């Protein structure tokens, strides 16, 4: 199978997908194409930054995290009079 044949086959399969499955496939494709970029970003972090991320994950796993809703609520109260 040539590259052109493969592209045509992929296109035809994608073209026949329903919207929700097409959106899922798009997400998978983005994850696949951006995979290397994410690893490069991680490698550029300092050891302190990496440790901070690991610490944050551990705190969340221990139930010490703050929900997005609580953070937004606090900010709205703080700046509602500004």
pLDDT band of residue 16 (cuts 50, 70, 90) is very high
- Per-residue pLDDT, 38: 61
- Per-residue pLDDT, 43: 82
- Per-residue pLDDT, 20: 87
49: domain range?
3-79
Looking at the 3D structure of the chain, how many domains does it have? 1
State the Cα–Cα distance between residues 56 and 72, nearest whole angstrom: 19
pLDDT tens-digit readout, 23-74: 888 888 888 887 766 667 778 889 999 999 999 988 988 889 888 999 999 9
């Amino acid at each position: 199978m040539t590259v052109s044949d493969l592209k045509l086959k992929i296109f035809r399969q994608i073209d026949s997908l329903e919207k929700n499955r097409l959106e899922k496939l798009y997400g998978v494709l983005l994850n696949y194409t951006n995979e290397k970029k994410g690893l490069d970003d991680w490698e550029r972090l300092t050891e302190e930054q990496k440790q901070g991320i690991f610490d944050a994950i551990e705190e969340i796993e221990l139930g010490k995290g703050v929900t997005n809703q609580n953070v937004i609520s606090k900010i709205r109260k703080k700046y509602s009079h500004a």
